[in-house]
Amino acid sequence: MSPKKRLIFKLKVLFEDDYLAIIHKPGGILVSGNHFKTIANALIQNLKQSTLEDATQPQPVHRLDFPTTGILLVGKTSSSIRALNKLFEDRAIKKTYYAVAIGNMKPEGTITTEVDDKPCKSNYKVHQTVPSERFGYLNLVELEPFTGRRHQLRKHLSDLGNPILGDKDYGIESLILNGKGLYLHAYSLKFVHPFTKEEMYLKDDFPLNFKKIFNTLEVGEIN
Every domain of the chain and the residues it spans: 12-93+189-215, 95-175
- Tell me yes or no: is domain 95-175 CATH 3.30.2350.10: yes
Distance CA 127, CA 190 (A): 20
Whether the model pTM is above 0.85: yes
What's the Cα-to-Cα distance from 2 to each of 6, 8, 132, 144, rounded to whole Å? 12, 17, 54, 46
Phi/psi region, residue 125 (left: phi>0; alpha: psi -120 to 50; beta: rest), is: beta
Domain 12-93+189-215, CATH class in plain words: alpha beta
Q: Which amino acid is at 56?
A: T
Q: Do domains 12-93+189-215 and 95-175 have the same CATH topology?
A: yes
Q: Which of 17, 18, 54, 65 is catalytic?
A: 65
pLDDT in tens, 43-97: 999 999 999 999 999 999 999 999 999 999 999 999 999 999 999 999 999 999 9
218 DSSP assignment: G
SS3 94: strand
90 is catalytic: no
pLDDT in tens, 100-125: 999 999 999 999 988 888 999 999 99
